[in-house]
Chain A
Amino acid sequence: RIYPLMRVTLTTSDGASVTVSRQLTKHSGFIEKAITDMAVDDNAVPLSAVAVDVDDATLKLVIEWLTEHRDDALPYPEKTDEERRADDIPAWDQAFVQKWDTKEDQQQTLYAVITAADKLDIKGLLDMTCKTLANKINGKTVEEMREILQLECDFTEEELAEIRKENAWCEN
């Protein structure tokens, strides 16, 4: 049972404190488990602070996303293989990701949010960021993929030739 008015203080990895409603934290498996582990009485308000291994700036973004998704159904529905798709990101989420300023910052922020969503066990946010990253890759050339994902080619020419030969089993 979740008490909407109950608030939780989160302390970030860089020493900041943020107080949020249980309506938001109920979407985080990590925070909910931490609260359960405190074994507090339902009426014990305020709760002790929960330490999260996420920096303040990233946590603010996570809270912004949680605020928009506070009424999402729980538990987050598990997707079967056939239900998994990348073209169904809600418009608000698309705008949320796109507003991160420069190209470099966007990628950096996306990775930070992914890591935070993983640490805080927020399945809906992980799912959305996964689709966002997949959409960045799909349909791109090898060079574009390296640029987007900031990857350095560490193959020798011979190794590349061998992989191309294997890939040649598949033709459009």
Chain B
Amino acid sequence: ILNFSMDILSLPTVFLHELMKHVDIIDRLRLRLTCRAFEQLVAESNARYIEKASIRFTEVSQSLKAFEINIGNVWVITHEYAEEEWERIRNRFFHKISFGDLVVNSDGSELALDFIQRFTHNFETKQLRFDINNEQELDKIQRSETGGTLSNYCMHIWYTVLPDQLLVFPPMNVLNINGKQTYSLQKQIPIDMFYKMISFHKYLSLDYGYVVVTLEERNNTIELISEYSDVRTVKFTMDNAIIVSYLRSFGISETSEEGDRIGKFEINGIYPEDIEIMRDSRIYLRFKNCDISICCIGWTHFYSGTTVEMSNLK
């Protein structure tokens, strides 16, 4: 016969904290209602990891914000947001909460980065993603006084942004600029600025029209990516004809075969378009320490935009 106390609260504190990391958010809330000791344990312990979550902010008035957080199967909703009240509530629900991917959407309202940082004070994220939909949102984030790097930040810009607005960002994990698929001299990024952006952001993706590089500049870009000591990827879309002419200048063509070595390039794969499996024509190359994938490439009939992705092998 075991002679042991039935009291769960007599179990080691470290164990109880570990237990709370295995409990769903909704069950944490229910545990708060069981007794004082568990209400305190919920506040002092870390919440269970959540792979994906999102926060949507809207502005009710200049001083009043509303927000919704989608945490797993739970929506946290308020329409009368006050910073102190949120801080108090948040500190009763968990000591810390970890997310894989947390998406912040300001839904058109002005949202400063320093506000987001205060709001997510005890949130730990592998990646905090901002979706920026217009110039006002971008401007507000740029004007915020947060210094240093945003190493776990990821920004998706969904409108056509002008180059001079792009240099002010601190280094980020991912900067993805989409915008309209149109060509405009105004949105073309100067080559020095392009190099600088590569040095800033670990993953840089630029939609059609932002990058127009000469053959020499393209070589410099590959050399640059290849020589970085940490992970670096750049992706951009250019005119198909320019890419094909660039490849042909090195002797790379539709007749090249996997395993061929042409100058400093090695062909890692070459595939024709295959409508049955919905695959576009593509070629995979390696140059020094850099993997290059080129998708939507038309050797004889031209696609409107061909996507190039260069990534070093770190």
Interface of A with B (CB < 8 Å)? Answer: 55, 57-58, 81-82, 84-86, 104-105, 107-109, 111-112, 114-115, 118, 126, 130-131, 133-134, 137-142, 145-146, 149-155, 160, 163-164, 166-167, 169-172
Complex contacts, A166 vs chain B, CB 8 Å: 32, 89, 92
| Contact in complex: A172, B26 (CB < 8 Å) | yes
Which of B27, B31, B32 is A139 in contact with, Cβ under 8 Å? B27
Complex contacts, A84 vs chain B, CB 8 Å: 21-22, 48-49
| Contact in complex: A108, B2 (CB < 8 Å) | yes
B118 within 8 A of A: no
Complex contacts, B2 vs chain A, CB 8 Å: 55, 57-58, 105, 108-109, 112
Give Cα distance in the complex from A163 to B92, angstroms. Answer: 10
Give Cα distance in the complex from A111 to B11, angstroms. Answer: 7
Interface of B with A (CB < 8 Å)? Answer: 1-8, 10-12, 14-15, 18-19, 21-27, 29-39, 46, 48-49, 51, 71, 73-78, 89, 92-93, 98, 100, 124, 126
Which of B1, B21, B27, B124 is A140 in contact with, Cβ under 8 Å? B27
Chain B interface mostly helix, strand, loop or mixed?
mixed
| Contact in complex: A111, B19 (CB < 8 Å) | no
Nearest CB of B to A153, in Å: 6
Nearest CB of B to A146, in Å: 5
The 4 A-B residue pairs with the shortest CB-CB distance, nearest first, are A134-B22, A81-B49, A112-B4, A81-B98
Nearest CB of B to A43, in Å: 37
Which of A86, A104, A140 is B30 in contact with, Cβ under 8 Å? A140
Which of A58, A134, A152 is B19 in contact with, Cβ under 8 Å? A134
Which of B11, B25, B49, B93 is A82 in contact with, Cβ under 8 Å? B49
A171: nearest chain-B partner, CB-CB: B75
Nearest CB of A to B44, in Å: 16
Complex contacts, B38 vs chain A, CB 8 Å: 149, 151
Can you show 16 pairs from A to B with CB atoms below 8 A apart? A55-B4, A84-B49, A111-B5, A115-B11, A118-B12, A126-B15, A137-B31, A138-B22, A140-B27, A142-B33, A146-B35, A155-B39, A166-B32, A170-B75, A171-B74, A172-B74
Nearest CB of B to A117, in Å: 9
Complex contacts, A108 vs chain B, CB 8 Å: 2, 4, 6
| Contact in complex: A114, B33 (CB < 8 Å) | no
User: A82-B100, A137-B31 are contacts. A169–B76 as well, Cβ < 8 Å?
Assistant: yes
Chain A interface mostly helix, strand, loop or mixed?
helix
Nearest CB of A to B39, in Å: 7
| Contact in complex: A170, B35 (CB < 8 Å) | no
| Contact in complex: A130, B22 (CB < 8 Å) | yes
| Contact in complex: A172, B73 (CB < 8 Å) | yes
Nearest CB of A to B306, in Å: 36
Give Cα distance in the complex from A108 to B2, angstroms. Answer: 8
Nearest CB of A to B40, in Å: 11
| Contact in complex: A170, B25 (CB < 8 Å) | yes
Complex contacts, B71 vs chain A, CB 8 Å: 170
Complex contacts, B12 vs chain A, CB 8 Å: 114-115, 118
Give Cα distance in the complex from A23 to B46, angstroms. Answer: 35
Complex contacts, A133 vs chain B, CB 8 Å: 19
Of B21, B100, B126, the most chain A CB neighbours within 10 A belong to B21
Which of A82, A149, A164, A169 is B77 in contact with, Cβ under 8 Å? A169
Nearest CB of B to A105, in Å: 8
| Contact in complex: A86, B22 (CB < 8 Å) | yes
Give Cα distance in the complex from A108 to B1, angstroms. Answer: 10
Nearest CB of B to A56, in Å: 10
Complex contacts, A149 vs chain B, CB 8 Å: 8, 34, 38
Complex contacts, B11 vs chain A, CB 8 Å: 111, 114-115, 118
Complex contacts, B32 vs chain A, CB 8 Å: 163, 166-167
Give Cα distance in the complex from A111 to B46, angstroms. Answer: 22
| Contact in complex: B8, A111 (CB < 8 Å) | yes
